Amino acid sequence: MKTVDLRSDTVTKPTAAMRAAMAMAEVGDDVFGDDPTVNLLQERIASLLGKEAALFVPSGTQGNLVGIMSHCGRGDEYLVGQMAHTYRWEGGGAAALGSVQPQPLEHEADGSLSLARIEGAIKPDDSHFARTRLLCLENTIGGKALPLEYLEAATALARRHDLSTHLDGARLFNAAVRLGVPAAAIAAPFDSVSVCFSKGLGAPVGSALVGSRRFIRSAHRWRKMVGGGMRQAGILAAAALHALDHHVDRLAEDHANAARLAEGLAGLPGLTVEPPQTNIVFADLQGDRAAGLMEHLKSRGVLATGLYRLRFVTHLDVDAEGVDRAVAAVREHLLA
Ligand SMILES: Cc1ncc(COP(=O)(O)O)c(C=O)c1O
């Protein structure tokens, strides 16, 4: 029985066509700037996102870290959501390695940070305070797509206060498909953006950071310092290029499968399902129903995460039949 793995969209395995593209990739030593496939990917993603330059990095975490370190110096601060990856899920790297203080803010129900909250958190120029330098947003955030009008308003506010802006766009292409806009429109109001090829796009490794040429020069230095200088990385860049060619438009299938999953789970006793916007379904489960659910799902070849707040993520390696199997397994447990 094939496992239906809904733990994350990072679990995808490279397809045969992607592996073939990787095997055929022309490579060189990227630390010397000699890898033609890395150079091609960097040009391609910079142009797709409407920025001057790009840097290929091993992970989204490293893209965000070198991004923050390029915007901020020691004793500076970035404004960020409580649940944002760049605050909560990156090991405190910006503080530990960059000497940059995070100022976390509560989210609104739609995942945004309210303009009033952002403005209220910007510190006056006073030696008691860290210097507020950067606003960091995430799109999608918890599977929700932040609309363009919000992104424009939040970044305009940041600019009025001389803050730089960074977008963690690990799932930016999911947001673009959901909003029905070009990826560049989401990236446009930000000074820098990180995107991941290893999530919904299905590549095994790799992310990119984009921004101005000057910004990317600085990020390149930090990338070297944190150990992100890679050699014949064209093998990995080829997977990312293949993903951009073949796996962007199909994200709509993942969104449809997430909607199918949510519909299948709706109305089950003790379960409150949030209608998904993209490829992530959250469902809250009443305490007494939670015991044994994950074990039961596992016994039926279905993997998910959470205990009282369940999370199911659809992706390239899950089809409608897999979704139906997952729904059947949850129903079996909750209706028993
Ligand atoms: C929103 C978001 N940003 C950044 C990352 C970090 O990516 P990586 O796991 O490649 O470091 C993740 C990983 O799941 C993520 O979900």
- What is the per-residue pLDDT across 307-319, written as a single tens digit (0 to 9) for each? 899 999 999 999 9
* pLDDT score at 288: 82
Average pLDDT, the chain: 97
pLDDT of residue 289: 83
Instruction: For residue 5, list its beta bridge partners.
Output: 303
Q: Report, as an integer, the average pLDDT of 51-75.
A: 98
Contact 232, 35 (CB under 8 A): yes
State which ligand 1 atom lies nearest to the alpha carbon of 59: 10
- Antiparallel, parallel or unpaired: β 280-285 and 302-303: unpaired
Measured from the CB, is residue 9 less than 6 Å from ligand 1?
A: no
Contact 43, 216 (CB under 8 A): no
Q: Tell the residue nearest (CA) to atom 13 of ligand 1.
A: 60
**What's the gap in Å between 62 CA and the centre of ligand 1?**
9
3-class SS at 155? helix
With cut-offs at 50, 70 and 90, classify the pLDDT of residue 336. confident
Q: What 3-state class would DSSP assign to 201?
A: coil
The amino acid occupying position 258 is A
The pLDDT of residue 287 is 81
3-state secondary structure of 61: helix
Report how far ligand 1's centroid is from the alpha carbon of 180 (Å): 23
CA of 10 to the centre of ligand 1 (A): 9
Distance 46 CA to ligand 1 centre (A): 19
| Whether residue 204 has its Cβ less than 6 Å from ligand 1 | no
Number of Cβ within a 10 Å radius of residue 108: 12
CA of 335 to the centre of ligand 1 (A): 35
Is residue 203 classed exposed, middle or buried when 0-12, 13-18 and 19+ CB atoms within 10 A define those classes?
buried
Asked if residue 315 has its Cβ within 6 Å of ligand 1, the reply is: no
- Asked whether 59 lines ligand 1 (CB < 6 A), one says yes
Does the Cβ of 168 fall within 6 Å of ligand 1?
A: yes
pTM over 0.85: yes
**Distance, CA 284 to ligand 1 centroid (Å)?**
23
Mean pLDDT along residues 148-161:
98
Scan for tokens 């999911």, then name that residue: 174
Alpha helix segments (H runs only) across the chain:
16-24, 36-48, 60-71, 85-88, 93-98, 115-121, 148-160, 172-179, 183-187, 213-225, 234-246, 251-265, 287-290, 293-299, 320-334
CB distance 170 to ligand 1 below 6 Å: yes
Q: Is 138 in the pocket of ligand 1 (CB under 6 A)?
A: yes
Q: If pLDDT is split at 50, 70 and 90, which confidence band does 43 have? A: very high
Distance of alpha carbon 88 from alpha carbon 14, whole angstroms: 28
Is residue 139 in contact with ligand 1, taking CB distance under 6 Å? no
Residue with CA nearest ligand 1 atom 6? 60
Query: What is the average per-residue pLDDT within 122-150?
Result: 98
Q: Whose CA is nearest to atom 7 of ligand 1?
A: 60
Q: Dump pLDDT digits (tens) for 101-113.
A: 999 999 999 999 9
Cα of 136 from ligand 1 centre, angstroms: 14
What are 181-205's pLDDT values in tens digits? 999 999 999 999 999 999 999 999 9
- From 7, 57, 61, 138, give the residue whose CB has the most ligand 1 atoms within 8 Å, as the site to mutate: 61
Give me ligand 1 centre to Cα 25, in Å.
Answer: 26
